Structure 1
Amino acid sequence: MTSPRLRSKSVKKKFVKGRKFLTKQKKPSPAICGLCGGNLFGVPRKGKYEMSKLSKIKRRPSRIFGGVLCASCTQRLLIEKTRLEKGVLKKEDIPVSHLKFLNSLIELK
Protein backbone atom coordinates (compact mmCIF):
# COMPACT_ATOMS: atom_id res chain seq x y z
CA MET A 1 0.00 0.00 0.00
CA THR A 2 1.18 3.52 -0.75
CA SER A 3 2.28 5.51 2.29
CA PRO A 4 -0.05 8.42 3.21
CA ARG A 5 2.49 11.12 2.37
CA LEU A 6 2.63 9.89 -1.25
CA ARG A 7 -1.16 9.86 -1.77
CA SER A 8 -1.29 13.61 -2.31
CA LYS A 9 -2.07 15.33 -5.63
CA SER A 10 1.03 17.48 -5.15
CA VAL A 11 3.25 14.42 -5.56
CA LYS A 12 4.13 13.71 -9.20
CA LYS A 13 4.08 10.03 -10.11
CA LYS A 14 6.03 8.37 -12.91
CA PHE A 15 4.89 4.83 -13.64
CA VAL A 16 7.60 2.31 -14.48
CA LYS A 17 7.43 -1.28 -15.73
CA GLY A 18 5.38 -3.48 -13.44
CA ARG A 19 3.11 -2.10 -10.72
CA LYS A 20 5.70 0.35 -9.37
CA PHE A 21 5.93 4.12 -9.63
CA LEU A 22 8.56 6.70 -8.78
CA THR A 23 7.54 9.84 -6.90
CA LYS A 24 8.80 13.39 -7.15
CA GLN A 25 7.68 16.37 -5.06
CA LYS A 26 6.77 19.69 -6.69
CA LYS A 27 9.24 22.52 -6.23
CA PRO A 28 8.10 24.99 -3.54
CA SER A 29 7.09 28.47 -4.63
CA PRO A 30 9.69 31.22 -4.10
CA ALA A 31 9.60 33.48 -1.05
CA ILE A 32 7.76 36.75 -1.74
CA CYS A 33 8.08 40.29 -0.41
CA GLY A 34 5.61 41.34 2.29
CA LEU A 35 4.83 44.67 0.62
CA CYS A 36 5.15 44.43 -3.15
CA GLY A 37 4.78 40.66 -3.65
CA GLY A 38 7.98 40.34 -5.70
CA ASN A 39 10.40 37.43 -5.37
CA LEU A 40 12.98 37.62 -2.59
CA PHE A 41 16.57 37.06 -3.67
CA GLY A 42 18.92 35.25 -1.33
CA VAL A 43 16.18 32.99 0.07
CA PRO A 44 16.44 29.40 -1.23
CA ARG A 45 13.45 27.57 -2.76
CA LYS A 46 13.37 24.56 -0.50
CA GLY A 47 10.76 22.68 1.53
CA LYS A 48 10.33 22.90 5.30
CA TYR A 49 12.51 19.89 6.03
CA GLU A 50 15.36 21.03 3.77
CA MET A 51 15.18 24.58 5.18
CA SER A 52 15.42 23.25 8.74
CA LYS A 53 18.65 21.46 7.79
CA LEU A 54 20.26 24.71 6.54
CA SER A 55 22.16 27.01 8.86
CA LYS A 56 20.51 30.31 9.80
CA ILE A 57 22.90 32.30 7.59
CA LYS A 58 21.95 30.28 4.51
CA ARG A 59 18.18 30.57 5.13
CA ARG A 60 17.88 34.31 4.62
CA PRO A 61 19.94 37.50 4.06
CA SER A 62 21.43 38.97 7.23
CA ARG A 63 20.36 42.57 6.58
CA ILE A 64 17.40 44.35 8.16
CA PHE A 65 14.06 42.77 7.09
CA GLY A 66 16.07 40.06 5.31
CA GLY A 67 13.79 37.26 4.16
CA VAL A 68 10.67 39.43 4.66
CA LEU A 69 11.02 42.46 2.37
CA CYS A 70 12.88 42.96 -0.90
CA ALA A 71 15.76 45.44 -1.09
CA SER A 72 13.76 48.19 -2.84
CA CYS A 73 10.94 48.07 -0.27
CA THR A 74 13.46 48.12 2.58
CA GLN A 75 15.16 51.15 1.05
CA ARG A 76 11.78 52.89 0.66
CA LEU A 77 10.98 52.22 4.34
CA LEU A 78 14.33 53.59 5.52
CA ILE A 79 13.75 56.78 3.50
CA GLU A 80 10.27 57.16 5.03
CA LYS A 81 11.71 56.61 8.51
CA THR A 82 14.29 59.37 8.12
CA ARG A 83 11.65 61.73 6.68
CA LEU A 84 9.44 61.00 9.69
CA GLU A 85 12.28 61.78 12.09
CA LYS A 86 13.16 65.03 10.28
CA GLY A 87 9.52 66.14 10.28
CA VAL A 88 9.13 66.25 6.50
CA LEU A 89 6.45 63.51 6.57
CA LYS A 90 3.58 62.98 8.99
CA LYS A 91 2.36 59.56 10.10
CA GLU A 92 -0.96 60.17 8.32
CA ASP A 93 0.84 60.50 4.95
CA ILE A 94 2.41 57.03 5.18
CA PRO A 95 0.50 54.04 3.69
CA VAL A 96 -1.08 51.74 6.29
CA SER A 97 0.78 48.70 4.94
CA HIS A 98 4.12 50.40 5.73
CA LEU A 99 3.23 51.34 9.32
CA LYS A 100 3.80 47.86 10.77
CA PHE A 101 7.35 47.75 9.43
CA LEU A 102 8.07 51.40 10.31
CA ASN A 103 7.01 50.87 13.93
CA SER A 104 9.44 47.96 14.25
CA LEU A 105 12.19 50.12 12.69
CA ILE A 106 11.58 52.91 15.20
CA GLU A 107 11.65 50.41 18.11
CA LEU A 108 15.04 49.09 16.94
CA LYS A 109 16.50 52.56 17.31
Structure 2
Amino acid sequence: MPEPRNRSSSVRKKKVRVPSGESRERYERRKGGKKASCAVCGAKLQGVQRSGPKSARRPERKFGGALCPKCQASVVKEAGRVKDGFKSIEDVAIIYRRYVEGILK
Protein backbone atom coordinates (compact mmCIF):
# COMPACT_ATOMS: atom_id res chain seq x y z
CA MET A 1 0.00 0.00 0.00
CA PRO A 2 1.38 3.47 -0.87
CA GLU A 3 2.19 5.95 1.85
CA PRO A 4 -0.68 8.35 2.66
CA ARG A 5 1.09 11.28 0.94
CA ASN A 6 1.15 9.27 -2.30
CA ARG A 7 -2.56 8.42 -2.31
CA SER A 8 -3.60 11.88 -3.45
CA SER A 9 -4.66 12.61 -7.03
CA SER A 10 -2.05 15.38 -7.08
CA VAL A 11 0.60 12.64 -7.12
CA ARG A 12 1.12 10.73 -10.35
CA LYS A 13 2.24 7.11 -10.56
CA LYS A 14 5.03 6.48 -13.02
CA LYS A 15 6.28 3.05 -14.06
CA VAL A 16 10.07 2.90 -14.09
CA ARG A 17 12.39 0.07 -15.03
CA VAL A 18 15.16 -0.21 -12.43
CA PRO A 19 18.69 -1.51 -13.08
CA SER A 20 17.79 -4.98 -11.82
CA GLY A 21 15.39 -5.25 -14.77
CA GLU A 22 12.12 -5.22 -12.85
CA SER A 23 9.43 -2.59 -13.17
CA ARG A 24 8.43 -0.44 -10.19
CA GLU A 25 6.06 2.43 -9.55
CA ARG A 26 7.50 5.77 -8.56
CA TYR A 27 5.42 8.68 -7.34
CA GLU A 28 5.90 12.25 -8.46
CA ARG A 29 3.92 15.40 -7.69
CA ARG A 30 1.98 16.92 -10.55
CA LYS A 31 3.14 20.38 -11.55
CA GLY A 32 0.66 23.25 -11.34
CA GLY A 33 -0.50 25.03 -14.45
CA LYS A 34 1.24 28.11 -15.79
CA LYS A 35 0.03 31.49 -14.65
CA ALA A 36 -2.15 33.17 -17.27
CA SER A 37 -0.49 36.00 -19.17
CA CYS A 38 -1.65 38.93 -21.28
CA ALA A 39 -1.87 38.17 -25.01
CA VAL A 40 -0.43 41.58 -25.95
CA CYS A 41 2.29 42.50 -23.44
CA GLY A 42 2.88 39.17 -21.69
CA ALA A 43 2.24 40.47 -18.15
CA LYS A 44 0.93 37.98 -15.59
CA LEU A 45 -2.84 38.25 -15.17
CA GLN A 46 -4.18 38.70 -11.67
CA GLY A 47 -7.47 37.19 -10.52
CA VAL A 48 -7.27 34.21 -12.89
CA GLN A 49 -7.11 30.88 -11.06
CA ARG A 50 -5.28 27.89 -12.49
CA SER A 51 -7.89 25.27 -11.68
CA GLY A 52 -11.38 24.68 -13.05
CA PRO A 53 -12.89 25.39 -16.47
CA LYS A 54 -11.83 28.52 -18.36
CA SER A 55 -15.32 30.03 -18.13
CA ALA A 56 -15.05 29.99 -14.32
CA ARG A 57 -11.46 31.27 -14.23
CA ARG A 58 -11.68 34.45 -16.23
CA PRO A 59 -12.96 37.81 -14.92
CA GLU A 60 -16.37 38.80 -16.29
CA ARG A 61 -15.36 41.75 -18.44
CA LYS A 62 -14.42 42.37 -22.06
CA PHE A 63 -11.30 40.32 -22.90
CA GLY A 64 -11.11 39.09 -19.28
CA GLY A 65 -8.61 36.26 -18.94
CA ALA A 66 -6.87 37.30 -22.17
CA LEU A 67 -5.70 40.91 -21.70
CA CYS A 68 -4.34 42.79 -18.69
CA PRO A 69 -6.30 45.89 -17.56
CA LYS A 70 -3.77 48.29 -19.15
CA CYS A 71 -3.95 46.65 -22.59
CA GLN A 72 -7.72 46.29 -22.29
CA ALA A 73 -8.06 50.04 -21.66
CA SER A 74 -5.86 50.77 -24.68
CA VAL A 75 -8.01 48.53 -26.89
CA VAL A 76 -11.23 50.21 -25.72
CA LYS A 77 -9.75 53.68 -26.36
CA GLU A 78 -8.57 52.68 -29.84
CA ALA A 79 -12.00 51.20 -30.62
CA GLY A 80 -13.66 54.46 -29.55
CA ARG A 81 -11.36 56.48 -31.79
CA VAL A 82 -12.09 54.23 -34.77
CA LYS A 83 -15.83 54.30 -34.06
CA ASP A 84 -15.90 58.12 -33.85
CA GLY A 85 -13.86 58.47 -37.05
CA PHE A 86 -10.69 59.97 -35.56
CA LYS A 87 -8.70 56.95 -36.73
CA SER A 88 -9.09 54.29 -39.37
CA ILE A 89 -8.70 50.61 -38.54
CA GLU A 90 -5.44 50.56 -40.55
CA ASP A 91 -3.93 53.19 -38.21
CA VAL A 92 -4.45 50.98 -35.13
CA ALA A 93 -1.36 49.06 -33.98
CA ILE A 94 -1.34 45.50 -35.33
CA ILE A 95 -1.19 43.94 -31.87
CA TYR A 96 -4.45 45.70 -30.90
CA ARG A 97 -6.24 45.42 -34.25
CA ARG A 98 -7.96 42.04 -33.79
CA TYR A 99 -9.32 43.10 -30.38
CA VAL A 100 -10.54 46.45 -31.73
CA GLU A 101 -12.30 44.63 -34.57
CA GLY A 102 -13.92 42.37 -31.96
CA ILE A 103 -15.39 45.40 -30.18
CA LEU A 104 -16.61 47.05 -33.39
CA LYS A 105 -18.56 43.99 -34.56
TM-score, structure 2 as length reference: 0.69
Q: What percent identity do the matched residue pairs reach? A: 30
Q: Tell me the equivalent position of 2:73.
A: 75
Q: C-alpha separation between the residues in 2 aligned to 1:28 and 1:38?
A: 16
Aligned-residue RMSD, C-alpha: 2.4
Q: In the TM superposition, what are the counterparts of 1:42-61 in structure 2 within 5 Å? A: 42-46=47-51, 51-52=52-53, 56=55, 58-61=56-59
**Which amino acid in the other structure matches residue 64 of structure 1?**
K
Query: Which residue of 26, 30, 38 maps to 2:31?
Result: 26
Shift of 1:40: 1.1
> What does the per-residue CA deviation read over 1:60-102, in whole Å, with 9 as the maximum and x for residues that have no partner?
1001111111111110000001111222222222112211111
Structure whose CA Rg is larger? 2
Q: In the TM superposition, what are the counterparts of 1:1-109 in structure 2 within 5 Å? A: 6-7=13-14, 21-46=26-51, 51-52=52-53, 56=55, 58-107=56-105
> What does the per-residue CA deviation read over 1:20-49, in whole Å, with 9 as the maximum and x for residues that have no partner?
754211121101111111111111123xxx
> More strand by proportion, 1 or 2?
2
TM-score, structure 1 as length reference: 0.66
Any unmatched runs of 5+ in structure 1?
A: 9-18
Q: C-alpha separation between the residues in 1 aligned to 2:81 and 2:13?
A: 53
> More helix by proportion, 1 or 2?
1
Asked whether the equivalents of residues 50 and 57 of structure 2 are also in contact (C-alpha less than 8 Å), the reply is no
Any unmatched runs of 5+ in structure 2?
A: 1-11, 16-23
